[in-house]
Amino acid sequence: MTDPIKIDVWSDIACPWCYIGKRNLENGLAAAAGDEDAPQVEVTFHSYELSPDTPVDFDGDEVDFLAGHKGMPRANVEQMLERVTGVAKDAGLEYRFDLLKHTNTVKAHELLHFAKEQDAQHAMAERLMSAYFVEGRHVGRIDDLVELAAEAGLDAGAAREALESSRHLDDVRADQAQASQYGIQGVPFFVIDGKYGVSGAQPPEAFTQITRQLWAERLTPADEALTPAE
């Protein structure tokens, strides 16, 4: 059997471009899935904290956070959020920055690693990002994360144990160390087949094209790929 194309995604669930990038990746792969020889793709999410110094309970809204954290004028922050909201809408996402509860995301990343053990990482990533950007749910406290884990189909008790014990913190740190080795300085960042790095929330067509190209190369025997000598 032909090995699947591996796409490793470094992201933070509190990164607005990461949710857009996730949706664009999914839409791009869905477009290729209808091909006669559809690419087989395996997607894995990895941890990246944009603001690890953020408190679990931040006193203020998203404008307050960005204005203070990045030193940007509030008017500029509001314009930036309006632009991101528009891009998200084009991807089928309804961002609600007015509801968003900014928080530390390390426990959410631990939960994603727990979900990966249960073969439910994709469902958990979707639940966390939707809860954060669309529903205004808190994704930094253990009690809230356990509720979201249950909503994603995971065992609440097992999720709580994993979070309270910090059992997956080393996995989060390993992802971050790998990101540093790759030289990743911003997310989303996609590593495709361990060879190609793609930065930013690329359009769906970009993911469709690269997966089709790589899959075609996999299906072409090496001897057929060579040009006969004259």
Domain span at residue 179 reads 5-223
Strands (E), the chain: 5-11, 41-47, 189-192, 196-199
Whether 229 is covered by a domain: the verdict is no
When pLDDT is averaged across residues 39-65 and rounded to a whole number, the result is: 95
Q: State pTM to two decimals.
A: 0.94
Residue 228 lies in a domain: no
**Burial per residue of 46-78, b for 16 or more beta-carbon CB atoms within 10 angstroms, e otherwise:** bbbbebeebeeebeeebbebbbeeeeeeeeebb
pLDDT of 229 > 50? The answer is: no
The secondary structure of residue 34, as a DSSP letter, is T
Average pLDDT, stretch 164-178? 98
Query: 71 lies in a domain?
Result: yes
> Contact, 81 vs 63, CB < 8 A?
yes
**pLDDT recorded at residue 223:** 46
- Contact yes or no for 205/30 (Cβ under 8 A): no
Quick one: pLDDT band at residue 1, thresholds 50, 70, 90? confident
Contact 133, 94 (CB under 8 A): no
Question: Does residue 194 form part of some domain?
Answer: yes
**230 within a domain of the structure (yes/no):** no
- Domain membership of residue 189 (yes or no) is yes
CA gap 174, 23 in Å, rounded: 25
* C-beta separation of 190 from 46 below 8 A: no
Overall average pLDDT of the 151-162 stretch: 98
Beta bridge partners of 196: 192
Instruction: Tally the domains of the chain.
Output: 1
pLDDT of 69 > 90? The answer is no
Residue 76, domain CATH: 3.40.30.10
pLDDT digits (tens, 9 = 90+) for 111-128: 999 999 999 999 999 999
pLDDT attached to residue 10 = 98
Percent of the chain with pLDDT over 90: 90
**11 within some domain:** yes
pLDDT at 226: 39
